[in-house]
Structure 1
């Protein structure tokens, strides 16, 4: 009986183990193979989007700095250098800063706050400054440079410096370097250990190669050209959009980097994604399975031995004609009783569970510390100042925000928000504004006066929202700030507020939204039409463009968008004039952020806005207009527990510099907007003919 039970149990364990192992291996290989290409493409897309977001965020301080410098372009070189060297200046975010006037003369050349001569300026940076000055528009350029920590990616941002009338006064450039290993830090998996990550330029030449997390020059890796098997036609498709495919046993994923016209390519072997099992591992698994079967047989022997002894005693009693009780001194009885009285099973299980729990707690704590360190690193090197608060206490602060307020990041951890305010009244007023904005709009955006560590006042613009809101979950109305985690973006606007106090600024800007007004927009449009006609259009009259005009096909030199909010009067009726003004301020900032950096926005009426987008084609203009229409439609607000949403009717005029004047262009865009309202609102209508 005992031998049969043990034999059957061991055979069942061996068969079940072998079958389960085979099925798990097959299912795992199939699942990994099917998900390998999407996983690789998703990781590559995340790296490309993260870099694009980093580039966009790094450009914002340079745009703001150019607006400040526009009123000081005629100052002396020493005055300009002193302004850029100030600790609170946004120029501190860049390793190099250059300022040139409209004649192409280099006024300022700073490298790590040290003044350099014009001859010491790198020729590649000089060419980018010249091109931006000639084209009159922002330019982003990147190069792969060697560094102490390996290859680095150097970004050069150049933005035009214009006065309030839009006249080009010069260009402002800023340089910033970051290691490639940080910019393209894809998650390390077993598959990526054998794959390759390549950075390819617009001419399909490799700029840098990463293998096993180490970036190096292609020539250093012995491969100055594209690796074998890469189709150039396929790479050309990748420059227009993300592509991926599985070919010849390899996974190919490519993602474009539009700001540099580069391509990020990831190549890995399919087999590297599939977990393989070596012969030695198979042997160990077989041995473990046999050992498990033997162990199970031993346990069954221990369990079944008393039953066997009892069966034998009963059999002997049956032959004698009497029923004997189990003799405690019979064979095996004393040994089994001693083994049963021992608590080895329970003690071992409890000890193992406690050890596993302790080990898991230590691993969790180590992982949490690593995540906190990564979060702090991201906040320190973010292009904007970031602060995380829990209730009325600062939990975490980035280096940029701490620098603006005159603190070190560690000094602000645990600091009460009250300590950043001048008085209790200011603190209560700020908390009331934040609470009201969170209840109404789910976010706060405004300018407040805070106190630096040295007790000097500083005006900052803060934009904050709760982490729950960032996960697209509405906060409960009236929830106390003590229970909320808020993420804040902080920007020094002291200089901008001083600029807004000037009468010239007030004459050309709307005091509610701080956008240019109707007069400023008409002046900007008129100057742009005159400048474009005198410089570009007259030169092209004798070229092939004249054929298009003879065929009554107007040229498109730019776009004018006329935006009119639909049913905005309902907001005023529901919440009052004060709430309506707050909503207009939010919508103005939403429009400005949506069309940046291609569009120049102005408020031309009560709930009407105009946007000039120079050098934009019809297709690009339609795409921007539709994105703006969807962004306004997605915006939500609430008042006293009631939500309200907005939409916009947008008229789009295709600008022809030879046909249109400022008045006719403005009227044409207005008529297109009126047509959009007549056709049902919340849509975009295009007008091509001159009014």
Structure 2
């Protein structure tokens, strides 16, 4: 593979540079970007393109046109609305007077009917109550007033019906309606005139019963007489009463209970006001106000454009209502004024458009100048002889100065970007690590070392899904992809070994470490560090490797750790002995802080039991594996880690000073604290209690060192967890 710059990388960064505006071209040496040096005399000939308004000006012109037309329409509407309100007020007054007159008319008819019935009652003597023949002759021939009513009934004091005269014919007492009989009985008991409720089940049969007690002597009630009027009779509510005096209006008479007595549509008689549009709402408002039925009246305006006038008829407890649509006179006024308003609005809009075009001319020229710059390779002003920047006091001058300043900044920024691009290309070409940046799991940036690991060219990897390169049996690739995504979901990162396909079809095992470009946002992109782990995997196949490593975390176990630590102490002690050239030389002090003394750490994972208890042991094992990889990533070539058992780990930094050891311990603690794995949609917060012990010079025995580190870790636990505690091996143990 060539060590030169790949053509694909040149194309990639060239395309990125070309994506910048054309104003980033080379700066013309004969021009300057300071406004003071520009030709501001404005003497150049204006071309037709200078007058053509741009999209912004066209939108402003459209807004102006709409505003003028809307203002004209609003003015016409306000005038028409004022006229309509005046007409509505006149209608309210007229309608209120009308229903009041109808209510008075009905009240006078009721009163007249009662007076006629009273004159009939005066002509009936006590003897006639016992002689139906005499009483019948009186009602048919002797009293003309009796013929005012459609039916007449006379009852004796004991409640027995003496006569039932209906439409000039005598009928049996059994033919009397129960409501009529009850009204007669109430009159006998109460001894006062009554007006019955509505009797009958059809508009043709509907009737009202008037009663009058027969009083003789000292106020004794000896009987009662009743006169019946049909609802549609001339003496009560003829059909002509409900006919509207004007279109879109109807007069309705109904009882206190809401039963309709009179309506322009005969079929609606005996219906209920709840089924009458507009009237039902007005009647409910009347009742909710608690208005008395003593002749009061009201006007109610409804949201649907209807107006209802109500008046009460006291004695029969009836209501008179006129329902009308709101006046539409304003519509005719608009039709008359509409053409004039439209002409005036269009005239004003035309004048406004011309004024806007004139005022926006410098802005149109500025847009034309900007388009010319975008079509050239120059990042500065046009060459001599080209149209200069437009001039206009105010905003256009400010924009021109800002544009000139931005051109200079763009030129400088382009130079910086080109320098950065070259540096990034050099890094990606020479860094000894495989690096790839993916977005939505597709490769966007890749280093030469990553290409060498897989034997691909950069152009062949660009746009590829990194997980599509997984080399595994059918069905196994999906499992590995799910595993990678689960690791990101649980830990926000991935650290593991993946088998990837080389271009020749062979399998290359790589240790892949993926971290989001922005913490907690994998969708913004992931940076992958790829390293060849073939030798490590081969070493794991050896029998002695398995005997020295923990199978879960793949770290050395306790016995291997102790053996390696013991070998390190013996080697240090041997080197110290060879360095003594004189017996009188002072022995090594082993004091902390000396450079290169080495440190040992005992680490205990805080709150690890919660993961096992709440998420299960499989989640706990996953957390331990991730912690092992995290320790390896943080330490790299600086030291080595081991698992001592359970959630206890050890870290040895052979050549680190005490200060360096404390720094690394804090880095490990902070990394675990920021980890926060997620299992079963539950996030866990962990900590790391660390015991830190320096390696004293001359110590050969492992036990005191391990004991001191263990005690330091316990001290960190007792002090509140998630902290670093330092202990030292007693000098007596070192000398022994």
TM-score w.r.t. length of structure 1: 0.46
Higher RCO (Cα < 8 Å, 6 or more apart): 2
TM-score w.r.t. length of structure 2: 0.43
